[in-house]
């Protein structure tokens, strides 16, 4: 038996649902028929693809290999079918498709704008997640072409064995305070001066985890009350003086807010763009990196406080 696309879809469905019975429901097949299909696929490939017990089905090493290839091939075939259908129906030469995922950061909007200007016929879609790990996984599985993420300090990027990450920019992490805060007029602030503050933080993989805990410990304190919430609520709590927050140097200030550099820059944020090198995304990666860097440079220039800080501190900002 030759391996076919429908066989790869079966493997993917079992892996995604975690069981043969659930996969049979998703695929509209009877469970005995799907079980028989899976056995034929395993005989063709020379080994078991899943370990099955009362908890469900988990991929074996061979299953992981097949699944990784399926997650690249199936989206590529679907894209081919969509573009062929457009061309056959008189849609003309199809524009490129760009699926871009991003965590909270300053680059996505400018990247989309620049890409749309450069390629008016391109089909651009975006998605967002608080989790950089989730975005990396979607790139590895072929569900995203590119991911824009940030990682703190020297923290490894998720999925760096399979995703090609390039550094777009290195930003300092500032402290966001109310314009009425006693330290608001300072040129910079020692982290220890904020020892008694309450903190507002967004969920996800930001600096407020291990990196901030280490920096705070070095400054001689443990953070007090932490409000974990969305960006708008964090900003509100800071503006009314209920909390302070960490923010990227590119953060666009609104009325009632001040971003203070932290003396010694104990926290820094690496802006990264990633793609799967074995997919068509790699062919256009250099162009997308260029647009991402230009978008970051625009964001940095729109922040007078950050621009002035960059004048005094080398090695930060957009990567040349």
Q: Is residue 30 domain-shared with residue 157, that is, in the same domain? A: no
| 92 pLDDT tier (thresholds 50, 70, 90) | very low
71-86 core/surface letters (b: 16 or more CB in 10 A; e: else): beebbeeebeeebeee
Last residue of a domain, one of 65, 88, 111: 88
Q: Is residue 216 domain-shared with residue 313, that is, in the same domain? A: yes
Percent of the chain at pLDDT above 70? 94
Copy the structure tokens of residue 253.
């200030």
Whether the Cβ atoms of residue 244 and residue 175 lie closer than 8 Å to each other: yes
| 80 pLDDT tier (thresholds 50, 70, 90) | confident
Q: Return the percent helix, strand and coil in the chain, to nearest 5.
A: 45, 20, 35
| 256 pLDDT tier (thresholds 50, 70, 90) | very high
Closest Cα to residue 176, out of 142, 210, 206?
Answer: 206
Tally of structural domains, the chain: 2
Q: Is residue 30 domain-shared with residue 125, that is, in the same domain? A: no
The most confident of the ranges 146-155, 187-196, 201-210, 276-285 is: 187-196
Widest CA span in the chain: 75
Q: Is residue 143 domain-shared with residue 235, that is, in the same domain? A: yes
Q: What pLDDT digit, counting tens, does each position of 41-62 carry?
A: 999 999 999 998 887 888 999 9
Last residue of a domain, one of 35, 64, 88: 88
Q: What is the pLDDT of residue 208?
A: 66
Q: Is residue 57 domain-shared with residue 124, that is, in the same domain? A: no
Q: Is residue 83 domain-shared with residue 100, that is, in the same domain? A: no
pLDDT greater than 50 at residue 319: yes
DSSP 3-state assignment of 197? coil
Lowest-confidence range among 77-86, 229-238, 273-282?
A: 77-86
| CATH number assigned to the domain comprising residue 20 | 1.10.10.10
Q: What is the pLDDT of residue 175?
A: 95
| CATH number assigned to the domain comprising residue 101 | 3.40.190.290
Q: Is residue 300 domain-shared with residue 210, that is, in the same domain? A: yes
Helices assigned H by DSSP within the chain: 5-17, 20-27, 31-45, 61-88, 108-118, 132-140, 210-218, 231-239, 285-301, 304-312
| 179 pLDDT tier (thresholds 50, 70, 90) | very high
Q: What is the pLDDT of residue 90?
A: 52
Q: Is residue 134 domain-shared with residue 260, that is, in the same domain? A: yes
Q: What pLDDT digit, counting tens, does each position of 129-174 carry?
A: 888 888 998 898 888 999 999 998 888 888 878 899 999 999 999 9
pLDDT greater than 70 at residue 85: no
Write down the mean pLDDT value for the chain. Answer: 88
Angle between helices 31-45 and 20-27 (to 10 degrees): 110
pLDDT greater than 50 at residue 185: yes
The whole model's pTM is what? 0.70
Q: Is residue 304 domain-shared with residue 163, that is, in the same domain? A: yes
Q: Is residue 304 domain-shared with residue 156, that is, in the same domain? A: yes
- Give mean pLDDT, residues 270-278: 92
Q: What is the pLDDT of residue 205?
A: 63
pLDDT greater than 70 at residue 210: yes
Last residue of a domain, one of 33, 63, 88: 88
Q: Is residue 273 domain-shared with residue 313, that is, in the same domain? A: yes
| 87 pLDDT tier (thresholds 50, 70, 90) | low
Q: Is residue 24 domain-shared with residue 173, that is, in the same domain? A: no
Q: What is the pLDDT of residue 160?
A: 75
- Give mean pLDDT, residues 115-126: 91
pLDDT greater than 80 at residue 89: no
Q: What pLDDT digit, counting tens, does each position of 243-255 carry?
A: 999 999 999 888 9
- Give mean pLDDT, residues 308-319: 92
* Domain housing 100: 95-320
């Amino acid at each position: 038996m030759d391996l076919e696309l429908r066989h790869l879809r079966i493997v993917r469905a079992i892996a995604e649902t975690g069981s043969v019975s659930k996969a049979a429901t998703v695929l509209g097949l009877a469970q005995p028929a799907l079980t028989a299909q899976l056995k034929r696929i395993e005989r063709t490939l020379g080994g078991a693809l899943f370990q099955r017990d009362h908890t469900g089905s988990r991929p074996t090493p061979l299953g992981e290999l097949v699944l990784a290839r399926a997650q690249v091939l199936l989206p590529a075939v679907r894209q081919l079918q969509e573009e062929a259908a457009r061309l056959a129906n008189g849609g003309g030469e199809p524009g490129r498709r760009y699926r871009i995922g991003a965590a909270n950061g300053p680059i996505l909007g400018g990247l989309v704008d620049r890409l749309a200007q450069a390629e008016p016929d391109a089909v651009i879609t975006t998605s967002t997640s608080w989790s950089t790990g989730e975005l990396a996984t979607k790139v590895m599985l072929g569900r995203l072409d590119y991911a824009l993420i940030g990682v703190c300090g020297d923290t490894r990027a998720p999925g760096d064995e399979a995703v090609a990450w390039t550094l777009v920019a290195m930003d300092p992490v500032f402290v966001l305070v109310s314009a009425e805060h006693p330290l608001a007029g300072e040129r910079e602030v020692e982290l220890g001066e904020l020892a008694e503050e309450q903190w507002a933080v967004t969920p996800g993989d930001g600096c407020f985890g291990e990196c901030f805990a280490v920096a705070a410990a070095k400054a001689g304190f443990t953070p007090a009350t932490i409000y974990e919430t969305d960006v708008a609520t964090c900003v509100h709590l800071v503006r009314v003086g209920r909390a302070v927050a960490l923010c990227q140097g590119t953060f666009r200030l609104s009325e009632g807010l001040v971003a203070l550099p932290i003396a010694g820059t104990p926290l820094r944020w690496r802006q990264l763009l990633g793609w799967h090198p074995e997919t068509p995304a790699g062919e256009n990666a250099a162009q997308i990196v260029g647009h991402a860097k230009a978008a970051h440079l625009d964001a940095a220039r729109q922040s007078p406080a950050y621009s002035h800080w960059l004048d005094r501190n080398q090695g930060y900002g957009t990567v040349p």
